[in-house]
Amino acid sequence: MTENLILAFSLTLLAGLATGIGSVVAMFTSTTNTKFLSWSLGFSAGVMIYVSMIEIFVKAKYALTAALGNQTGNWATIGGFFGGMLLIALIDRFVPNQGNPHEFKKVEEIKDSKVHDPDLLKMGTFTALAIAIHNFPEGIATFTAALQDPTLGVAIAIAIAIHNIPEGIAVAVPIYFATGSKKKAFKLSFLSGLSEPIGAIIAFLILMPFLNDVLFGVIFASVAGIMVFISLDGLLPAAKKYDEAHTSIYGLISGMIVMAISLILVV
């Protein structure tokens, strides 16, 4: 149990701090590799969708039907699934448009803006806040999955880390060009990812004492809903935006294949 806790916290921390990788990329590149961005976002979506629908949703349903009976358990499963979607949709709804982390921007798009423009600082700050808000439930998702099944935790952490990299770029570039400070840009980008391990800590302190089959099932169903929503609302539209010769769909399929094979090999 202790080993699983350490692994769960570690995976959540690494996934969250991938925003810092994005800030480093932003500071040392002048253009975005759109082909790789499209493929990697598609890959991340493929991992999330496959593991959500094939593995996490099924485990949630099994736990809930075993604890509550077939009919009640099925209703609880779909309630948790669409409840997770509703949660992340509400977060999106109340996040300012200019700070929505699902609106990925290329490095050169932001760098073309006016240097030391106060609006850039505002945009970077709002984006950092938005990412912090979004990363909180993602942290709970990664931690809970890793605690129950380390293999699932690794897969989810990798997928979330991939999509956190362009989010880190979206924070770092406007902050840097508004202030001229790489240190401030990296710091804010780095801090925006810390809400993910904070989500894990909250899950540990509040949910762990009450964790049983019913709560686990509801959380897992909600995690599946959250990840499917993020994939359909954020990752795939962004991947298609920078698509070149069906690169995003190849990334999507690759992510599903990698996830499918990894789940078989660890059984």
Binding-site annotation, residues for Zn(2+): 138, 163, 167
Distances (CA, A) of 243 to 40, 163, 259: 11, 16, 22
CA nearest to 167, candidates 148, 141, 190, 146: 190
Specify the residue for token string 């202030």.
179
Spatial CA neighbour of 167 closest among 248, 87, 98, 104: 104
The binding site consists of 135, 138, 163-164, 167, 196
Query: Which parts are annotated binding residues for Fe(2+)?
Result: 135, 138, 164, 167, 196
Report the distance separating Cα 54 and Cα 33, nearest Å: 31
Cα distances from 63 to residues 40, 77, 127, 153, in angstroms, run 33, 9, 37, 18
